[in-house]
Protein backbone atom coordinates (compact mmCIF):
# COMPACT_ATOMS: atom_id res chain seq x y z
CA UNK A 1 0.00 0.00 0.00
CA UNK A 2 1.13 3.52 -0.73
CA UNK A 3 1.80 5.40 2.44
CA UNK A 4 0.87 9.04 2.90
CA UNK A 5 4.55 10.06 2.77
CA UNK A 6 4.88 8.57 -0.73
CA UNK A 7 1.71 10.32 -1.90
CA UNK A 8 2.91 13.69 -0.55
CA UNK A 9 6.33 13.17 -2.15
CA UNK A 10 4.68 12.43 -5.51
CA UNK A 11 2.44 15.51 -5.25
CA UNK A 12 5.42 17.75 -4.49
CA UNK A 13 7.48 16.19 -7.28
CA UNK A 14 4.70 16.53 -9.86
CA UNK A 15 4.36 20.25 -9.13
CA UNK A 16 8.09 20.57 -9.69
CA UNK A 17 7.99 18.43 -12.86
CA UNK A 18 5.25 20.61 -14.32
CA UNK A 19 7.14 23.83 -13.60
CA UNK A 20 10.38 22.36 -15.00
CA UNK A 21 8.53 20.95 -18.07
CA UNK A 22 9.58 17.36 -17.22
CA UNK A 23 5.83 16.75 -17.38
CA UNK A 24 3.63 18.91 -19.56
CA UNK A 25 0.04 19.33 -20.65
CA UNK A 26 -0.33 17.96 -24.14
CA UNK A 27 -3.10 17.92 -26.73
CA UNK A 28 -4.10 14.38 -27.60
CA UNK A 29 -2.77 12.90 -30.84
CA UNK A 30 -4.01 9.43 -31.79
CA UNK A 31 -0.68 8.52 -33.43
CA UNK A 32 1.37 9.16 -30.27
CA UNK A 33 -1.17 7.27 -28.17
CA UNK A 34 -1.12 4.29 -30.55
CA UNK A 35 2.68 4.11 -30.43
CA UNK A 36 2.59 3.93 -26.62
CA UNK A 37 -0.02 1.15 -26.74
CA UNK A 38 1.97 -0.71 -29.42
CA UNK A 39 5.15 -0.44 -27.33
CA UNK A 40 3.33 -1.72 -24.23
CA UNK A 41 1.93 -4.72 -26.09
CA UNK A 42 5.23 -5.46 -27.81
CA UNK A 43 7.14 -5.29 -24.53
CA UNK A 44 4.70 -7.67 -22.84
CA UNK A 45 4.83 -10.04 -25.83
CA UNK A 46 8.63 -9.96 -25.65
CA UNK A 47 8.60 -10.72 -21.92
CA UNK A 48 6.18 -13.61 -22.52
CA UNK A 49 8.34 -14.98 -25.33
CA UNK A 50 11.53 -14.76 -23.31
CA UNK A 51 9.92 -16.36 -20.28
CA UNK A 52 8.18 -19.14 -22.25
CA UNK A 53 11.38 -19.98 -24.13
CA UNK A 54 13.53 -19.82 -20.99
CA UNK A 55 15.69 -17.04 -22.36
CA UNK A 56 17.19 -14.17 -20.38
CA UNK A 57 15.52 -13.69 -16.99
CA UNK A 58 16.94 -10.18 -16.90
CA UNK A 59 15.11 -9.26 -20.09
CA UNK A 60 11.87 -10.84 -18.88
CA UNK A 61 12.04 -8.40 -15.97
CA UNK A 62 13.15 -5.45 -18.10
CA UNK A 63 10.54 -6.10 -20.82
CA UNK A 64 7.79 -6.63 -18.22
CA UNK A 65 8.66 -3.32 -16.60
CA UNK A 66 8.71 -1.50 -19.94
CA UNK A 67 5.27 -2.85 -20.81
CA UNK A 68 4.05 -1.23 -17.60
CA UNK A 69 5.97 1.97 -18.33
CA UNK A 70 4.47 2.38 -21.80
CA UNK A 71 0.87 1.65 -20.77
CA UNK A 72 1.25 4.05 -17.83
CA UNK A 73 2.43 6.74 -20.23
CA UNK A 74 -0.50 5.97 -22.54
CA UNK A 75 -2.93 6.54 -19.68
CA UNK A 76 -1.18 9.76 -18.66
CA UNK A 77 -1.23 10.89 -22.29
CA UNK A 78 -4.97 10.14 -22.53
CA UNK A 79 -5.40 12.34 -19.46
CA UNK A 80 -3.53 15.15 -21.22
CA UNK A 81 0.00 14.75 -19.85
CA UNK A 82 3.22 14.03 -21.72
CA UNK A 83 6.28 12.81 -19.84
CA UNK A 84 9.55 14.36 -21.02
CA UNK A 85 12.86 12.62 -21.68
CA UNK A 86 14.66 13.44 -18.43
CA UNK A 87 14.08 11.16 -15.42
CA UNK A 88 11.04 9.87 -17.28
CA UNK A 89 10.65 6.74 -15.18
CA UNK A 90 10.44 8.64 -11.90
CA UNK A 91 8.18 11.27 -13.47
CA UNK A 92 5.86 8.52 -14.70
CA UNK A 93 5.82 6.85 -11.30
CA UNK A 94 4.95 10.06 -9.47
CA UNK A 95 2.38 11.10 -12.08
CA UNK A 96 0.63 7.72 -11.66
CA UNK A 97 0.27 8.40 -7.95
CA UNK A 98 -1.09 11.90 -8.51
CA UNK A 99 -3.25 11.57 -11.64
CA UNK A 100 -4.11 7.89 -12.07
CA UNK A 101 -4.43 6.19 -8.67
CA UNK A 102 -7.87 7.61 -7.89
CA UNK A 103 -9.12 7.04 -11.43
CA UNK A 104 -8.04 3.41 -11.15
CA UNK A 105 -9.90 3.17 -7.87
CA UNK A 106 -13.06 4.55 -9.50
CA UNK A 107 -12.71 2.14 -12.42
CA UNK A 108 -12.28 -0.79 -10.06
CA UNK A 109 -15.29 0.30 -8.00
CA UNK A 110 -17.43 0.09 -11.13
CA UNK A 111 -16.18 -3.47 -11.60
CA UNK A 112 -17.03 -4.38 -8.02
CA UNK A 113 -20.31 -2.45 -7.77
CA UNK A 114 -22.33 -5.39 -6.45
CA UNK A 115 -20.33 -5.54 -3.22
CA UNK A 116 -20.19 -1.82 -2.58
CA UNK A 117 -18.78 -1.58 0.94
CA UNK A 118 -16.08 -4.16 0.32
CA UNK A 119 -15.45 -2.70 -3.12
CA UNK A 120 -14.40 0.67 -1.75
CA UNK A 121 -11.67 -0.86 0.35
CA UNK A 122 -10.75 -3.45 -2.26
CA UNK A 123 -10.57 -0.86 -5.05
CA UNK A 124 -8.52 1.58 -2.97
CA UNK A 125 -6.08 -1.17 -2.02
CA UNK A 126 -5.88 -2.55 -5.58
CA UNK A 127 -5.35 0.90 -7.13
CA UNK A 128 -2.58 1.68 -4.67
CA UNK A 129 -1.13 -1.79 -5.15
CA UNK A 130 -0.99 -1.37 -8.93
CA UNK A 131 0.76 2.00 -8.69
CA UNK A 132 3.09 0.64 -6.03
CA UNK A 133 3.92 -2.39 -8.22
CA UNK A 134 5.00 -0.04 -11.00
CA UNK A 135 7.29 1.80 -8.60
CA UNK A 136 8.66 -1.47 -7.23
CA UNK A 137 9.33 -2.87 -10.70
CA UNK A 138 11.06 0.38 -11.72
CA UNK A 139 13.45 0.05 -8.80
CA UNK A 140 13.89 -3.71 -9.24
CA UNK A 141 14.59 -3.37 -12.96
CA UNK A 142 17.38 -0.92 -12.24
CA UNK A 143 18.85 -3.04 -9.45
CA UNK A 144 18.63 -6.32 -11.34
CA UNK A 145 19.84 -4.86 -14.60
CA UNK A 146 23.02 -3.52 -13.06
CA UNK A 147 23.70 -5.30 -9.75
CA UNK A 148 22.31 -8.86 -9.64
CA UNK A 149 23.84 -12.24 -10.47
CA UNK A 150 22.14 -14.39 -13.11
CA UNK A 151 21.13 -17.07 -10.61
CA UNK A 152 19.18 -14.53 -8.54
CA UNK A 153 17.29 -13.17 -11.57
CA UNK A 154 15.36 -16.36 -12.27
CA UNK A 155 13.18 -16.21 -9.18
CA UNK A 156 12.16 -12.62 -9.90
CA UNK A 157 11.34 -12.93 -13.62
CA UNK A 158 7.98 -14.68 -13.26
CA UNK A 159 6.81 -12.21 -10.63
CA UNK A 160 7.69 -9.29 -12.91
CA UNK A 161 5.86 -10.82 -15.84
CA UNK A 162 2.72 -11.48 -13.79
CA UNK A 163 2.77 -7.96 -12.35
CA UNK A 164 3.10 -6.50 -15.83
CA UNK A 165 0.15 -8.56 -17.12
CA UNK A 166 -2.06 -7.44 -14.23
CA UNK A 167 -0.95 -3.81 -14.56
CA UNK A 168 -1.57 -3.71 -18.33
CA UNK A 169 -4.97 -5.38 -17.95
CA UNK A 170 -6.15 -2.80 -15.42
CA UNK A 171 -4.66 0.16 -17.29
CA UNK A 172 -6.36 -0.92 -20.53
CA UNK A 173 -9.68 -1.12 -18.67
CA UNK A 174 -9.04 2.39 -17.37
CA UNK A 175 -8.27 3.58 -20.89
CA UNK A 176 -11.56 2.04 -22.08
CA UNK A 177 -13.38 3.95 -19.31
CA UNK A 178 -11.62 7.20 -20.23
CA UNK A 179 -12.43 6.70 -23.92
CA UNK A 180 -16.13 6.11 -23.13
CA UNK A 181 -16.27 9.32 -21.09
CA UNK A 182 -14.68 11.52 -23.82
Cα distance between residue 126 and residue 84, in whole Å: 28
Question: How many CB atoms are closer than 10 A to CB 143?
Answer: 12
Alpha-carbon gap, residue 9 to 141, rounded angstroms: 21
pLDDT of 76? 97
Give CA 37 to chain center in angstroms. 12
Per-residue CA distances from 95 to 23, 31, 79, 117, 162 (Å): 8, 22, 11, 28, 23
| 68-127: pLDDT as tens digits | 999 999 999 999 999 999 999 999 999 999 998 888 888 776 766 556 666 667 777 888
158 vs 95: CA distance, rounded Å = 26
**For the whole model, what pTM was predicted?**
0.77
| Euclidean distance between CA atoms 181 and 74, whole angstroms | 16
Q: How does pLDDT run across 2-49, given as a tens digit for each residue? A: 889 999 999 999 999 999 999 999 999 999 999 999 999 999 999 999
For the segment 51-66, the average pLDDT, to the nearest whole number, is: 94
Residue of 74, 48, 60, 47 whose CA lies nearest to 173? 74
Reduced DSSP (H G I as helix, E B as strand, rest coil) percent helix, strand, coil of the chain, to 5: 85, 5, 15
Amino acid sequence: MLDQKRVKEAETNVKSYLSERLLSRQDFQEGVFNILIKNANESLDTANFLYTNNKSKLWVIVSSYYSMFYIANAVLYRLGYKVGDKISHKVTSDALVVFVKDKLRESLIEDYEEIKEEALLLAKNKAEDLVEKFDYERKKRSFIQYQTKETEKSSKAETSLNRAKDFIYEMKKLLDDLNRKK
